[in-house]
Structure 1
Amino acid sequence: MDLDMAQVRAFVRAAEELHFGRAAGTLAISQQALSKRIARLESLLGTELFQRGGSGVGLTEAGERFLTPARQTLAAADAAVAAAVGRKDRPLRVDVWGHLYAPMRTLAQVAGRDGEFVMGHGRDLSSVAAALLHGDIDAAFGRVHPPLHTGLAHRLVRLEPVDAVLSADHPLAAEPALRPDQLSDSVLWAPSALDRLDFLRQFADRFGIRNTATGVNLGLIHFLEDVVGDPRLFSLLPADMPLPHIPGLRAVPLVNPTPLYAWSLLWRIGNGHAGLDRLTAACAAQARQSRWLEYDPAHDWLPEPPVAGPPPR
């Protein structure tokens, strides 16, 4: 049985989006064309891959079984094409993701040392993971947290302390440093629902932050102006992140323990772009020079224990 890669790609995109219209848009084809490709694939395999109904689209058991090897097949096909046409010389496509934290600050210290990069900006981990699996980008940079797709690998790059940011009118604003649990009676202000912000959610759970609130993410300045405007609020930002000049804004170090935010590189297993090795080596060199990976469990807190991870190849 010979598989048509266009049909397999249509299936994988539809399985990831669970919406034929969105999947068709990512492939720059019509929804009708995508539906025909999937129907032909189902006919070839002799089984339905999707459940179609008024409540939406879902995978059948056969579709669930087919998805992982289908992704692996596409990755192998893309690697074969790249090897044949010599696409390894193209720039490395690197994406970043995050809400208020700024991974570009960290990546800027290593990017450009070796090789050429094309930068992008993902919305969140799931969208970046999908882009990696699709082959739209080569690597990504941000905080990795489980569950992570089995077709992806990651390597820890940096552990960064975070500060509490709060209004000068907050009852704890004058403290030289704070234990995280001292904030338990304050309100954790987040730029999105906590089920999308794994680090803040786990921080709140670990240190007994009972009250949380969210707003629309209109950028860092707007977010911090909201913090300044309400003395009940606080949030977390990387300790060495330059803050905009906003009157009444305070940043207070957190100690005993110090929360650490973990930055990682993420890539699709099997991507042989030489720039991945160069970027990983540059990150490792900067981590040694700047002592980015220091972690003392007696004094620091991480949602998950640090794992260095494998090199790209």
Structure 2
Amino acid sequence: MRRWRGQQRSRTADNAALSHMVGGVDLDLALVRAFVATAETLHFGLAAKRLNTSQQALSKRIARLESLLAVRLFEREGGTRLTEAGERFEPAAREALAAGERAVAAALGVGQIVRIDVWGHLYAPMRTVAQAVEALGAIRLEPGPARDWPSAAEALLRGDTDLGFGRVHPLPGGRDAGLARRLVRLEPVDAVVSAAHALAGADQLRPADLRDSTLWCPAELTRLDFLRCFADEFGVTRREDGPNLGLDHLVQRIRTDATCFTLFPADAPLPGDAGLRSIPIVAPTPLYAWSVAWRESHRHPLLDTLLRGFAEAGRTRRWLDYAPERDWLPESDHAALAGPARG
């Protein structure tokens, strides 16, 4: 018993010493911001330019931070790189900056900011986000610049954004390790063809009906997992892709080529649809899976509120209706069906 009490006293003393050591560091967010900018660029000159300061001033801030923490955060010989201590400090530093932004927003009474990266821009992802948050009150969304899921995943893991919204699928090499997702909407997609297309008069189409047409992909096919899976599953061998030049370019491409089709969410708006037909696909109906994603180690304080907003919108609008005998999903989307998003 005396030995156990001695061990307890030793642990208590160690914890007190650690608490004193950590509590004795007054962390200046300006120094943290300098560290994060340098960690992102691994270049003191570029980081200084980003912060609109001189390289000398930036170097002094980093040196001051290292002195306060009593550790080296960067190796400077043979190029700038993070030390082990710097790698441990980086995610917490990003969270500290985000917490500071939330504190300022709270003091100003402007509501908490949620940084959200969306992708699949041609399919208008923000229309779904807007419907989910419209009844939640003073939540300020700050959309980010993500172009696709891999870039959004990197931003989430770096702490550059709080949430992601779009279609989530496994990334090679485990590049999405540490991220969580919640399926929030399954949206039917239509076949969009020119009014001059041979199938333009159909009231509905089966996927097999499209095998003699060319699938037009509005970006490199390697980046469009959903379209690639559809083409592979239903034997659409004719495929063309090109740069993503926006929705108007996509519409014009389909309108002027009677051999092509593309897939487009049934509820998404098509601009200037004269000369186009949007035809429902049946037996089965392809579904586009929209998910919310976040970093498992950092849940934004408003995450649960937002997820409730998506769940309520999903219930009232039947966003998660799915019947395997009627609908089709890529294999990588099936695992999400068993998750808490269905509840």
| Aligned counterpart, 2:168 | 144
| Aligned counterpart, 1:263 | 290
Q: Does 1:132 align with 2:153?
A: no
> Residues 148-173 of structure 1, C-alpha deviation per residue, up to 9 Å, x if partnerless?
52232111110000000001111111
Any idea what SS the aligned residue of 2:336 has? coil
Alpha-carbon separation, structure 1, partners of 2:283 and 2:86 = 45
Letter in structure 2 aligned against 1:118: L
Letter in structure 2 aligned against 1:91: I
| Aligned counterpart, 1:90 | 112
Segment drifting more, 177-186 vs 147-156: 147-156
Q: 1:223 pairs with 250, 253, 259, which one?
A: 250
CA apart distance, 1:120: 1.6
Q: 2:304 pairs with 239, 256, 277, which one?
A: 277
Letter in structure 2 aligned against 1:236: L
Cα–Cα, structure 1 residues 231 and 117, in superposed 2: closer, same or farther, change >3 Å? Answer: same
Letter in structure 2 aligned against 1:152: L
Segment drifting more, 123-132 vs 258-267: 123-132
Alpha-carbon separation, structure 1, partners of 2:77 and 2:153 = 22
Alpha-carbon separation, structure 2, partners of 1:7 and 1:21 = 12
Alpha-carbon separation, structure 2, partners of 1:293 and 1:29 = 50
| Aligned counterpart, 1:155 | 182
| Aligned counterpart, 1:238 | 265
Deviation beyond 6 Å, 4+ runs, structure 1: 4-8, 19-37, 44-52, 65-68, 82-88
Cα–Cα, structure 1 residues 68 and 144, in superposed 2: closer, same or farther, change >3 Å? Answer: farther
Any idea what SS the aligned residue of 2:117 has? strand
Letter in structure 2 aligned against 1:107: V
Any idea what SS the aligned residue of 1:108 has? helix
> Residues 36-87 of structure 1, C-alpha deviation per residue, up to 9 Å, x if partnerless?
98xxx9xx889989998xxxx9x9xx99x99986665545655776798786
Equivalent residues of 2:186, 2:321 under 8 A apart: yes
Letter in structure 2 aligned against 1:143: R
CA apart distance, 1:112: 3.2
Any idea what SS the aligned residue of 1:224 has? helix
Alpha-carbon separation, structure 2, partners of 1:68 and 1:181 = 51
Compute the RMSD of aligned alpha carbons.
3.9
Equivalent residues of 2:218, 2:250 under 8 A apart: yes
Structure in which a larger fraction of residues adopt helix: 2
Segment drifting more, 23-32 vs 281-290: 23-32
| Aligned counterpart, 1:302 | 329
| Aligned counterpart, 1:177 | 204
- When normalised by structure 1's length, the TM-score is 0.76
Alpha-carbon separation, structure 1, partners of 2:275 and 2:222 = 30
Any idea what SS the aligned residue of 1:230 has? coil
| Aligned counterpart, 2:11 | none
| Aligned counterpart, 2:123 | 101
User: Percent identity among equivalent residues?
Assistant: 47
Unaligned runs of 5+ in 2: 1-21, 23-30
Equivalent residues of 2:72, 2:85 under 8 A apart: no
Q: Does 1:291 align with 2:318?
A: yes
Cα–Cα, structure 1 residues 181 and 99, in superposed 2: closer, same or farther, change >3 Å? Answer: farther
| Aligned counterpart, 2:217 | 190
Alpha-carbon separation, structure 2, partners of 1:154 and 1:302 = 17
Unaligned runs of 5+ in 1: none
Give the structure with higher Rg (CA). 2
| Aligned counterpart, 2:193 | 166
